Amino acid sequence: MSALLEVKHLSVTFETPQGNVHAVQDVDLTIERGSTVGLVGESGCGKSTLGRAILRLHPRNASVQGSIRFAGRDLLALPPREVRDLRGRNLAMIFQDPMTRLDPLMRIRDHFIETIRAHDPTVEKKEALERARKVLADVRVPSDRLGMYPHELSGGMRQRIMIALCLLFKPALLIADEPTTALDVILEAQILELLRSIMKEYNMAVLLITHNLGLVAEFADRVAVMYAGHLAEEGATIPLFREPRHPYTQGLLASVIDLETTQLYSVPGAPPTLLGRSEGCPFYPRCEKRMDVCKTVYPEMRPVGDDRRAVACHLY
């Protein structure tokens, strides 16, 4: 059986008055059914743009090239009507800021009714509410919350409701764009635990977009590391964390605080601007192992080692 999601040579370019911004460049990504892929990188590296492009949520001034095959269909070639129906039904997305993702003027129950009717216009209110109660039970939210307005609920509760809205149609893939960044650690653990049990129950794959390496280590089967719009390294989580190959991944992992020495490493320099096209390796200016070739030749992703790892670096 083929993979659930196969992204090939995906590039997203924003046309701005200052020039073209290459937010995502030539990225390949595969997600198997029921598996979790962590997409990590620092702010502005294009990981959220990639997530949005999968749902075709990118703004008008973005052009998207490449292919995104979801369950055998190329999302970029589908007519908008069909993409719309896939959203929320087969492909769902939750966001970083649960506080502002629910319409403040709409009761929770109406969010559910609207979502169900968007896909099934004939469903009666009563039946829609019945379905809402079922998914709310799955995300451990008491069903009396249905009568409330979003401002009456906490951030964690709202994120659970967002997840419940996504679960209504049992999607095969959930894109979680920093789902716990706005929540405190205890809620973060709860939400992740919830996601994990739901994945099992619904046989759902998750693309977890985050800058939190701990989260990925705990949660993801595979990891993709992004830098400046490019993929730097991709592989199974545990081997990749044990033995990072790409100098950027090494730096990123070293940036996690070491409790023995309480030293904090930071990757020198700042990420490059994505405005305009650059030659060579995007990490070149900050890399501690740079070579002459890195300055002029872009390193393609190549399989390295024997653990189904791919790295974009001239060292290998």
Partner 1 sequence: MAGWFARGRTSLVGRLLGTFIRQSRTVAGILVWIGLAVILAILVMGILAPFIAPFDPNTKVGATELPPGGPFVMGTDRAGQDVLSRIIWGARVPLAIVAVSTTISLAIGLPLGLLSGFAGGRLDRVILLVMDSIYAFPGLLLAIAIAAVIGRGILNISFAIAVVYIPTYFRVIRNHVTSVKQEPYVEAAVALGMSRTRVIGRYVFPNVAQNIPVIFSVNAADAILTEAGLAVLGLGLPPGIPDWGFDISLNWQRFDVSWWATFFPGLFILILTTALTFVGEGLNDILNPLLRKKEQAAVAEA
Tokens describing residue 314: 């001239």
Shortest CB 280 distance to partner 1, Å: 35
- Find tokens 């020198």 and name the residue: 268
Strand order in the sheet with 205-210: 91-94, 173-177, 205-210, 36-40, 222-227, 230-236, 309-311, 302-304
**Per rule CB under 8 A, is residue 103 in the interface with partner 1?**
yes
Show the binding pattern over residues 137-166: x = contacts partner 1 (CB under 8 A), - = does not. -------------------------x--xx
- Residue 119 per-residue DSSP state: H
Specify the residue, 52 or 246, whose C-beta has the smaller distance to partner 1: 52
Window 71-90: residues binding partner 1 (CB under 8 A)? 84-89
According to the binding rule CB under 8 A, does residue 106 interact with partner 1?
Answer: yes
Q: CA 302, CA 305: separation in Å to the nearest integer?
A: 10
Q: How far is the CB of 46 from partner 1 (least distance, A)?
A: 18
Please say whether the beta carbons of 108 and 168 come within 8 A: no
Q: What angle, 0 to 180 degrees and rounded to 10, lies between the N-to-C axes of helices 155-167 and 185-202?
A: 10
- Contact (Cβ atoms closer than 8 angstroms) between residue 90 and residue 70: yes
108-119 and 155-167 helices cross at what angle (nearest 10)? Answer: 20
Min CB(206)–partner 1 separation in Å: 15
Task: Compute the least distance from the CB of residue 135 to partner 1, in Å.
Answer: 13
Kindly state the number of chain residues that form the binding site for partner 1, as judged by CB under 8 A. Answer: 30
- Report the nearest approach of partner 1 to the CB of residue 44 (Å): 18
114 forms part of the interface with partner 1 (CB under 8 A): yes
Instruction: List interacting residues with partner 1 (CB under 8 A).
Output: 55, 57, 60, 84-89, 92-93, 95, 97, 100-107, 110, 114-115, 117-119, 162, 165-166
